[in-house]
A and B are shown apart, each in its own frame.
Chain A
C-alpha cells in the first residue's frame, strides 16, 4: 500500500511539532523517519496511526483518505518503544488479542497466533508472561501482535532503543527479514543514523518538524541537500571547516586556499562551510588542492586515522595504512569527488 502525506501539519498549542510535511512512502518498502530527538517523528507516526488528530493536511492510504478515520479502521499495526505488551496475558494471548477483539473464532485465533509466533521466532515461549521474556523477545512478541491482523501498514516507533547494542543489531536484521517476508509497507522511527542506513529502503530525514530530504540511504549519504543532512549522517561525523570564497576556491579561516572547481558562480568573499567526510582525503595526491600539517596519527589496522591542521580547524582523515606519516609532517592534500560538500554559511543550502 502506498502512503501519501500531503502538507501534514501538527501544532500542540503554540509548538509546531510537524510543519507542512509531504512525502510518499512506496508500497512494500521500509521507510525510516530519522531525526534528532523532538523533531516530530513520533508525532508523524501517531498521525499515521490515528492516535492523534492532524491540525491540517491529508493522509492517503492508496486512494483512501484516512485523515479523519478511527485508528481501528485504518488497518495498521503498531509497535512501541516500550513494547506495550499486556503484562497479565501470556505471549499467546498477547499475540491473539487483536483477533479476540475482532471476535475471530478461538481455533483460528490460536492457529494464526502460532503462525505469527513462528515468523518472529517466539514459538517456544507461548505460555510465558511478558515479564519472563528478554527485551528482544518482548519486542518480537510486539511485532507479532502488530502483524497478526495482516495490516497494510506497519508502524514502529523506536522499537530497538530499549535493547543493548548487540541485540539491537540482531533485532534490526530480524525486523528487516520479517518485513521482507511479509512485504508489508513499514515506517520505522529512529534517531540512530546507522540503524536507519542499514535497515531502510528509503530515509526521510527531518529537523524541527520539517522534512529535510527523502532519499535512499546511499544517496542521502552521498548527496545531502543541506548542511544539516551532511552533519547528521556518518561516523565519525563529517569534518567541517569554515571559510570564504577567494579566486574561485575557498580560503579556510587563517589557513590555506582550497582549490575547488564548481564555485565559479559564487561571489567573491561569500562565507561558506566546507564539509569533508573523513574518507574523502587523499594524502600526497598528484592533484593537491591544499597543504596541511599532521597533528596526530592513530594506527587502526586496516587504515590510519590522521588528525590534520587546516587553518583554525582540525580534521579527521582516514588514509591508507601503507602511507608513512608522523606528527609534524606537512602533506599535500587532495580530495575525492565524493564526500566533499560546500554549504552556504548562512542558509546551510548546498552550493554545487
Chain B
C-alpha cells in the first residue's frame, strides 16, 4: 500500500515536471506578448505583466500584414484539408472495399511512394508548380496537398476492420456503394477521420518550407513564413515577436484543446503507427 503510494507520487512528480517543461515556453510567450518593453527588460524577470498591454499586437499588425497572413493561412488550411479529406475517404474506400484489377499493385506502388522523403518531392513539386504557372499564388499552397497517401493508408486500414457483413447487409437492402460509404463507413470511422483532419490541419498550418519556396509576395504569404520574415527583416523587439508568435500558435492551440480527446484516442488506437 505504502509502496504504491510512493510510486504514484513519483509518477505525478515526473508528470508535473514534464508538464512544466512543456507549458513554460507557451506561458512565457503569451505573458511576454502582453508586457511593455520595460517589463520585458527588468531584472530579475517578472512573471506576469502588471496589466494586459495590447500595444505589441497593435504594432505587429501595423508593421506587417498579419491579418492578410492569417487569412491566407486559414484559406489554405480549410481548402486543402477539406479536399484532402474527401479524396482520402474516396481512396480508402476504393482500396478497402471495391474490387478492381490492379488494386493491390496500385496500392503497393502508393505505399512505396510514401518512402520518398518530402524534401525530395519539394523540388519536383516546385517545377510542376512553375510549369503550371501557379507559383506565388495560393493555389501553389493548396493543390499539392489535396491528397495524401499516408492518411489514405491509415483510413484504409480502419475501413478494413469494418466487417464485410455490414456491406453485404446494406447491399441486400439495395444500398449503393456511395450511400453505404457516407451513411455507414464514414460515421463509423469518425474518430479516425477527426484525427486525420486535425493532424492534417496542424501540419498544414505549421508548414514552412514549401510556402517559403513556392511563394514570394507578401500577399500570398502564410503565417509561419510571415512570422519568419517579420523577425528576420524587422529586427523586431522581443515582446513584439512574442505577440506575433502567439498569433501564429494560438489557433492551433485552441483547436488542439477542443479536439484533444480525438487526437489521443486516434494515436492510442494504434491507427497512426508507422
Interface residues of A (CB under 8 A from B): 49-51, 71-74, 76-78, 80, 82, 84, 86-89, 97-98, 101-102, 145, 149
Given contacts A86-B184, A88-B187, contact A149 B173 (CB under 8 A): yes
Interface residues of B (CB under 8 A from A): 163, 165-166, 168-175, 179, 184, 187-188, 190
- Residue in B closest to A50 when the chains form the complex, CB atoms: B172
Q: In whole angstroms, how far apart are the Cα atoms of A87 and B172 in the complex? A: 18
The residues of B that contact A76 with a CB separation of less than 8 Å are: 172
In the complex, which of the residues B165, B179, B190 contacts A82, with contact meaning CB atoms closer than 8 Å?
B165
Q: In whole angstroms, how far apart are the Cα atoms of A131 and B188 in the complex? A: 13
- List 22 A–B pairs whose Cβ atoms lie within 8 Å, in order of A's numbering: A51-B168, A71-B168, A74-B172, A78-B168, A80-B169, A82-B165, A84-B163, A84-B165, A84-B166, A84-B168, A86-B166, A86-B188, A88-B184, A88-B187, A88-B190, A89-B187, A98-B173, A101-B173, A101-B175, A101-B179, A102-B174, A145-B169
Q: Are B169 and A84 in contact (CB under 8 A)?
A: yes
- Residue in A closest to B180 when the chains form the complex, CB atoms: A101
Q: Are A87 and B188 in contact (CB under 8 A)?
A: yes
Q: In whole angstroms, how far apart are the Cα atoms of A164 and B154 in the complex? A: 36
The residues of A that contact B170 with a CB separation of less than 8 Å are: 97, 101
The residues of B that contact A49 with a CB separation of less than 8 Å are: 168, 172
In the complex, which of the residues B165, B171, B179, B188 contacts A88, with contact meaning CB atoms closer than 8 Å?
B188
Nearest CB of chain B from residue A174's CB, rounded to whole Å: 20
Nearest CB of chain B from residue A82's CB, rounded to whole Å: 6
Chain B contact residues: over half helix, strand or loop, or mixed?
Answer: helix
The residues of B that contact A101 with a CB separation of less than 8 Å are: 170, 173-175, 179
Q: In whole angstroms, how far apart are the Cα atoms of A74 and B163 in the complex? A: 23
The residues of A that contact B172 with a CB separation of less than 8 Å are: 49-51, 71-72, 74, 76-78
Q: In whole angstroms, how far apart are the Cα atoms of A145 and B173 in the complex? A: 10
A/B pair count, beta carbons within 8 Å: 53
CB-based closest 7 A-B pairs: A72-B174, A84-B165, A98-B173, A88-B187, A80-B165, A84-B169, A71-B172
The residues of B that contact A50 with a CB separation of less than 8 Å are: 172
The residues of A that contact B165 with a CB separation of less than 8 Å are: 80, 82, 84
Nearest CB of chain B from residue A93's CB, rounded to whole Å: 10
Q: In whole angstroms, how far apart are the Cα atoms of A87 and B166 in the complex? A: 10
The residues of B that contact A77 with a CB separation of less than 8 Å are: 172
The residues of B that contact A78 with a CB separation of less than 8 Å are: 168-169, 172
Nearest CB of chain B from residue A242's CB, rounded to whole Å: 44
- Residue in A closest to B189 when the chains form the complex, CB atoms: A88
The residues of B that contact A51 with a CB separation of less than 8 Å are: 168, 171-172
- Residue in B closest to A88 when the chains form the complex, CB atoms: B187
Q: Are A97 and B173 in contact (CB under 8 A)?
A: yes
Q: In whole angstroms, how far apart are the Cα atoms of A80 and B170 in the complex? A: 12
Q: In whole angstroms, how far apart are the Cα atoms of A246 and B174 in the complex? A: 64
The residues of A that contact B163 with a CB separation of less than 8 Å are: 82, 84
Q: In whole angstroms, how far apart are the Cα atoms of A76 and B179 in the complex? A: 20
Q: Are A71 and B171 in contact (CB under 8 A)?
A: yes
Given A76-B172, A86-B188, 16 extra CB contacts under 8 A: A49-B168, A51-B171, A72-B172, A74-B172, A78-B168, A80-B165, A84-B165, A84-B166, A84-B168, A84-B169, A88-B190, A89-B187, A97-B170, A98-B173, A98-B174, A101-B174
Q: Are B171 and A72 in contact (CB under 8 A)?
A: yes
Nearest CB of chain A from residue B191's CB, rounded to whole Å: 11
- Residue in B closest to A149 when the chains form the complex, CB atoms: B173
The residues of B that contact A98 with a CB separation of less than 8 Å are: 173-174
Q: In whole angstroms, how far apart are the Cα atoms of A89 and B186 in the complex? A: 12
The residues of B that contact A97 with a CB separation of less than 8 Å are: 170, 173
The residues of A that contact B169 with a CB separation of less than 8 Å are: 78, 80, 84, 145
Q: In whole angstroms, how far apart are the Cα atoms of A74 and B168 in the complex? A: 14
Q: In whole angstroms, how far apart are the Cα atoms of A114 and B58 in the complex? A: 62
Nearest CB of chain A from residue B194's CB, rounded to whole Å: 14
Q: In whole angstroms, how far apart are the Cα atoms of A149 and B175 in the complex? A: 13
Nearest CB of chain B from residue A68's CB, rounded to whole Å: 15
Nearest CB of chain B from residue A189's CB, rounded to whole Å: 14
Q: In whole angstroms, how far apart are the Cα atoms of A101 and B170 in the complex? A: 9
Q: In whole angstroms, how far apart are the Cα atoms of A86 and B167 in the complex? A: 10
- Residue in B closest to A76 when the chains form the complex, CB atoms: B172
Nearest CB of chain A from residue B174's CB, rounded to whole Å: 3
In the complex, which of the residues B173, B184, B187, B190 contacts A72, with contact meaning CB atoms closer than 8 Å?
B173
Q: In whole angstroms, how far apart are the Cα atoms of A77 and B172 in the complex? A: 7
The residues of A that contact B184 with a CB separation of less than 8 Å are: 86, 88
Nearest CB of chain B from residue A275's CB, rounded to whole Å: 39
The residues of B that contact A72 with a CB separation of less than 8 Å are: 171-175
Q: In whole angstroms, how far apart are the Cα atoms of A45 and B163 in the complex? A: 18
Nearest CB of chain B from residue A91's CB, rounded to whole Å: 15
Nearest CB of chain A from residue B137's CB, rounded to whole Å: 40
Q: In whole angstroms, how far apart are the Cα atoms of A84 and B171 in the complex? A: 12
Nearest CB of chain B from residue A302's CB, rounded to whole Å: 43
- Residue in B closest to A78 when the chains form the complex, CB atoms: B172
Nearest CB of chain B from residue A85's CB, rounded to whole Å: 8
Nearest CB of chain B from residue A11's CB, rounded to whole Å: 18
- Residue in B closest to A155 when the chains form the complex, CB atoms: B172
Q: In whole angstroms, how far apart are the Cα atoms of A3 and B188 in the complex? A: 36
Q: In whole angstroms, how far apart are the Cα atoms of A50 and B172 in the complex? A: 8
- Residue in A closest to B176 when the chains form the complex, CB atoms: A101
- Residue in A closest to B186 when the chains form the complex, CB atoms: A88
The residues of A that contact B174 with a CB separation of less than 8 Å are: 71-73, 98, 101-102
Q: In whole angstroms, how far apart are the Cα atoms of A261 and B172 in the complex? A: 54
Interface centre among B174, B187, B190, by most chain A C-beta atoms within 10 angstroms, is B174
Nearest CB of chain B from residue A92's CB, rounded to whole Å: 15
- Residue in A closest to B165 when the chains form the complex, CB atoms: A84
